[in-house]
Structure formats: structure tokens, C-alpha cells
């Protein structure tokens, strides 16, 4: 008798998330617990986060950009491979 292992999907690649967060009156991009840059508004920070996430996606990483809507609450603004336009996508906020 031939034993056939069950077919299983390979584990999903972890998603690298770029979070656009409010820091006082400015906005920053958080990646893996480290904050980067200072931006006057969420739209500017989101554009830079999408540009950066697009480059990482093209290098083979699964990426998303999240935008803080309320303290500690986020919405997905962009996902590599799902949202056309990359850096030209409409900014959030």
C-alpha cells in the first residue's frame, strides 16, 4: 500500500506591515517597532509608506500599509499585489 501524505498549503509568508501612526501633531511610519520620519499629515506619510512597501514587495516580501484611524485602531490602506498603482495609489487621511 502506498502512503500519500495529505496535501497542505505551504505556510503563508509573514506580512511586513508599515503602520502610519500619529505622534503628537505629526505622523510617522512604524516598521517592526521603530518609528521613521516626521510628516505633516497622514497623506504624506502614507505615500512614503506605500512607496517603501512597494519596493519591499517587488523584492519578494508580502507587505501592507496600515493607517491609524483612532489610537491603536488601524485600517488597511494598501496591500502589495492587491492594490494597483503602488506609489500612485490614493493616500489615506
The string of pLDDT tens digits covering residues 22-72 is 999 999 999 999 999 999 999 999 999 999 999 999 999 999 999 999 999
| Confidence bin at 79 (pLDDT 50/70/90) | very high
Residues 6 or more apart whose CB falls under 8 angstroms from that of 31 comprise: 16, 17, 18, 19
How far is 20 from 40, CA to CA, in rounded Å? 12
* pTM of the predicted protein model: 0.77
- Strand, helix or coil for residue 43: helix
Q: Look at residue 44 and tell me if it is in a domain.
A: yes
Residue 82, domain extent: 15-88
Q: Is residue 3 part of a domain?
A: no
Number of domains within the chain: 1
Task: Tell me, yes or no, whether 55 lies in a domain.
Answer: yes
Amino acid at each position: 500500500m502506498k502512503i500519500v501524505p495529505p496535501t497542505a498549503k505551504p505556510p503563508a509568508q509573514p506580512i511586513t506591515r508599515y503602520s502610519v501612526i500619529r505622534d503628537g501633531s505629526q505622523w510617522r511610519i512604524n516598521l517592526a517597532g521603530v518609528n521613521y520620519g516626521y510628516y505633516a499629515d497622514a497623506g504624506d506619510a502614507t505615500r512614503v509608506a506605500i512607496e517603501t512597501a512597494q519596493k519591499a514587495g517587488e523584492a519578494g516580501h508580502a507587505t501592507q500599509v496600515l493607517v491609524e484611524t483612532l489610537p491603536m485602531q488601524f485600517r488597511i490602506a494598501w496591500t502589495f499585489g492587491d492594490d494597483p498603482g503602488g506609489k500612485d495609489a490614493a493616500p489615506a487621511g
